[in-house]
């Protein structure tokens, strides 16, 4: 009896870093993917994860080279492949790079900027974004107030916003002016627009939000809109 574990063909292509699962399913429905020489039209067709008999457009599927990179995301770009409203996306930063399929590892909203990871390695991405395995994320946030010690302590203790309790792992004042300040906030969990919602619970408005580090990986001097590959040591340290 063959006990080799099988998965849907679209999932196999995605897990092997070829393309997204959605794109793989479309390729299969379009008749572009064959298994052992037979064209498959069902994205859920049972397939061994390590199958060496898959071909796309008549070309055998080899092992995809793993890509792990960091981008200094500019403000105003949407973190998605395609935007239904026609807005510019982060993929504009990779025009002409010939990177193949890569996916964002986590998110930064349109108004936020800074360190954003990309990869075609789903297992690595899952470890980074997982609530129990992901590294801390560090942000520098410009706000329209000068938070006092009590407000900074409240960010750590937690604030209830729309029935949900939100909190930061740490928060400290970096520098302040007459009317606004920069605050460093570290999160050990990832929720939608968490920092903006957390600060709004204290009636503090975010003027600028920059992610400056993920774990020990710092944004450093990487110019805005530019990207670089991660070293093997950086990849290992994040996972």
Show which residues are catalytic.
109
Best CA proximity match to 137, nearest among 155, 114, 121, 160: 114
Q: How far apart are CA 197 and CA 171, in angstroms?
A: 15
Q: How far apart are CA 11 and CA 80, in angstroms?
A: 20
Alpha helices in the chain (DSSP H): 9-15, 21-29, 122-129, 149-157, 194-200, 232-238
- The tally of CA atoms less than 13 A away on the side-chain side of residue 37 is 0
Structure-token pair, residue 173:
């004042």
Q: How far apart are CA 111 and CA 144, in angstroms?
A: 16
Backbone angles phi, psi at 69, to 5 degrees: -145, 165
């Amino acid at each position: 009896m063959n006990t080799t574990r099988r998965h849907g063909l679209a999932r196999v292509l995605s897990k092997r870093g070829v393309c997204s699962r959605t794109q793989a399913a479309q390729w299969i429905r379009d008749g572009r993917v064959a298994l052992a020489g037979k064209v498959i039209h069902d994205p859920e067709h049972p397939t061994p994860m390590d199958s060496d008999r898959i071909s796309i457009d008549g070309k055998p599927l080899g092992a995809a080279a793993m890509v792990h990179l960091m981008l200094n995301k500019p403000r105003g770009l949407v973190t998605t492949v395609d935007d239904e409203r026609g807005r510019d996306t982060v993929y504009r930063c990779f025009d002409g790079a010939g990177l193949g399929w890569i996916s964002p590892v986590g998110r930064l909203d349109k108004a936020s900027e800074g360190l954003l990871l990309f990869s075609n390695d789903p297992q690595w991405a899952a470890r980074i974004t997982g609530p129990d395995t992901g590294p801390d994320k560090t942000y520098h946030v410009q706000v329209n107030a000068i938070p006092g010690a009590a407000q900074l302590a409240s960010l750590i203790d937690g604030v209830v916003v729309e029935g949900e309790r939100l909190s930061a792992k740490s928060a400290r004042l970096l520098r302040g002016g007459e009317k606004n300040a920069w605050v460093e906030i570290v999160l050990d969990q990832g929720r939608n627009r968490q920092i903006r919602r957390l600060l709004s619970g204290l009636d503090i408005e975010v003027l600028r939000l920059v992610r400056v580090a993920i774990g020990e990986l710092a944004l450093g001097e990487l110019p805005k809109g530019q990207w670089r590959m991660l070293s093997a040591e950086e990849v290992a340290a994040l996972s």
